[in-house]
Amino acid sequence: MTTDTGDFDFHRTLPLGTDQLWHVLTDANMRERWGAPSPEMILKVEKSDLRVGGIERHICGPKKNPEFEVETRWYRLDAPSDAAFTETVEIGGSAIGTSLVTYRLEAKGKGTQLFVHVALSSFCGAEALSEFKDGWQGGLASLDALAHELAAE
């Protein structure tokens, strides 16, 4: 099987300042709150080392059976403006895909513009590209809801 590749971009304007949004994006506990793509799914951080070269491990998937194991490696952490990291997703010890993710944050009024770029290599077929994109769309929708909740506090 060949390696299939793709990339996608997301843009959101969120009602949090750059420092607060940075915290929401990078803090392990906060990522657990918004990272799952739907309410039926869970993201549970098992290890977090938020520094350049640091590794984070988490599991995600359906709440009753989170089957995906994810290893995140941080390559750039320039708070509160940009970050870059890779994520490798495995099921049962076999890698199904790796992505390079870049966050860029820019202040806009009282809020922040968030730009997310994801470059993906799928090891399990081209159909996985849209599944990864759907996962990001769901997670970012949860991020948007959480940002509005935090802004209202």
DSSP label of 40: T
Cβ contacts of residue 44 below 8 Å, gap of 6+? 32, 58, 59, 60, 66
Who's near 41: CB < 8 A, 6+ residues apart? Answer: 60, 61, 62, 63, 66, 138
Q: Write down the pLDDT at residue 151.
A: 97
Query: Which tokens go with 88?
Result: 């490798």
Backbone angles phi, psi at 47, to 5 degrees: -150, 135
Domain of residue 120, CATH code: 3.30.530.20
pLDDT classification of 136: cutoffs 50, 70, 90 = very high
- State the pLDDT confidence band at 2, using cuts at 50, 70 and 90: confident
- CB burial string 83-120: b at 16+ within 10 A, e below: bbbebbbbeeeeebbbbebbbebeeeeebbbbebbbeb
Across the beta sheet with 4-14, the strand order is 4-14, 111-122, 94-108, 82-91, 68-78, 55-62, 41-47
Range of the domain at 128: 4-152
Query: pLDDT digits over 33-79, tens only?
Result: 999 999 999 999 999 999 999 999 999 999 999 999 999 999 999 99
Give the angle subtended at the CA of 143 by the CAs of 111 and 34, to the nearest 5°: 145
Number of domains in the chain: 1
pTM of the model: 0.95
